[in-house]
Amino acid sequence: MAAASTYDREMVQIGDPSITAPRERLIRLLRIGAAIEHALMVEYIYAAYSIDAFDEMASPPATPTPDQTRRRDAMLRWQQEILAIAKEEMGHLISVQNVLMLLGAPVTLARENYPWDSRLFPFEFQLEPLSRGSLACYVAAEMPEDWVTPLQATGDGMTPEDIEALRQQVLADVKAHLTAQGQSISGLGINRVGSLFNSILSILEDREALPDSEFVDYAHDLQALHAEWGRYYPMPTPLPVGTKVKPPDVGEALVIVAPMSTRDQAIAALKMVAEQGESAKSPGETPSTEEVPPQLSHFRRFLAVYKEWRDLGVPEAPANKVPVNPIEAPADPIRGGQGPVTPITDARSSRWAKLFNVRYQLLLAALACSLETPRRADTTGIPGLRGPLAHLCFGEMYNMKAIARILLRSPLAAPNDPNRAGPPFQMPYNLTLPQAQADRLRALRDMLDSSEKLAGWLSKYPDDPNETQYLTHLRAIDGETRRWLDQQITRLSIARGQE
């Protein structure tokens, strides 16, 4: 990516540069970037899980034809690829938090509910099943400013005419999809994520406008580490000139969680994030300098799925039984969406939806609490809370996966309704954490108490032995977590009283 003095690529503007301080503009852009990464991660997860409801996945024929087998195998690959992208978006979200903390700004995990209201987002936030139209939107959101020339150089057999025809087809599908949703279209109708990162990097690289004194030296113990958040997945690393790079396996995620204590480290991390999102390079290309080698970017991955979808003749909307923008019912008047939403009104499904939202709230609260907790032992020598809180986050990711798949098998409005429910991913009405650590843990305990009430009702009226087994396991683990929280609250309260 070019230096600040030569930035002539597409960028976005926020605030009046003649009035707003560069640091303030940078923090605003980073907060928007974090919200976009969070929103895309959730949308991609929802789209990936909706593949389970594709007709050929949910009700496979007893004796499939070769074409049906090829489509089903492709759908399984698509699900793995999209989930891998979502995991990488999680790394992007956490890396942006590291930049915010380096600037002395607070952590932000907010994103929009329905509807979307930022002109800088790629498109209106919407949970929807995967379709060819939504897939085209994902391609366009992640695409680089110029993707025809790099694709032409990858040697995959496409002529310039083929590439341009593919680009025009993607944009036509985007326009048709957004028009069908009633979204206003201005030009393409999608803001590229890359243009936002161009703007962020242009400020970071301007050493005159943003002096080194704007970077704090007390955030070291708060910086998220790859060992904490990306421990199950490799991180891209620089390689010497001439190194041949093996393309990643299907569904393989390379999670970027980059700690930083200097401007240069922040710039390097965000360039890596931007490259992973929008690069049009081939993962087999050899680096011309010692750099992080080209990966299979989100743009390339989505484009490959789009091409295969088109070539296999998969219907444009094969998961039409999965709702758009599902919400728990009755809707929370404080938190409820104002845009087009689909209430989950079946009594049992609605409680599963509420349980999913409680676990989502618990994940976000535990993540924020962990990121804002220093990585060190307290004055008593007892190990800090950061590690256990991160462990709680990983547990919640698995819980949300299990509940999401239960919802996608559950009826939307009545026991015999062929339409399915879906994971609502509704944001809590408040993400602000208390100041005292003991009070933060009390808030987590309150969420476990809410979960227990819902799980108790669902267990009281069993419907499926697998669901009953899951609820039994969930309640047992929650009991252990609650006891641990009680112990820590007591310890912290005693320590505070002795101060």
Low-confidence ranges of the chain (pLDDT < 50): 1-9, 114-117, 283-294, 336-337, 499
pLDDT at 232: 80
pLDDT at 191: 72
**Mapping DSSP to helix (H, G, I), strand (E, B) and coil, where does residue 344 land?**
strand
Distance CA 168, CA 389 (A): 47
Write down the architecture of domain 326-498 according to CATH: Up-down Bundle (1.20)
Task: Report yes or no: 485 and 441 within 8 Å, Cβ to Cβ.
Answer: yes
pLDDT at 339: 61
Distance CA 374, CA 224 (A): 10
pLDDT at 222: 92
Two structure tokens written together for 228: 């904490």
pLDDT at 114: 47
Distance CA 127, CA 341 (A): 9
pLDDT at 381: 52
Distances (CA, A) of 200 to 186, 273, 480: 24, 12, 43
Sorted by where each begins, the domain ranges of the chain are 4-312, 326-498
pLDDT at 493: 87
Q: What is the pTM of this model?
A: 0.89
pLDDT at 116: 43
Is residue 469 classed exposed, middle or buried when 0-12, 13-18 and 19+ CB atoms within 10 A define those classes?
A: exposed
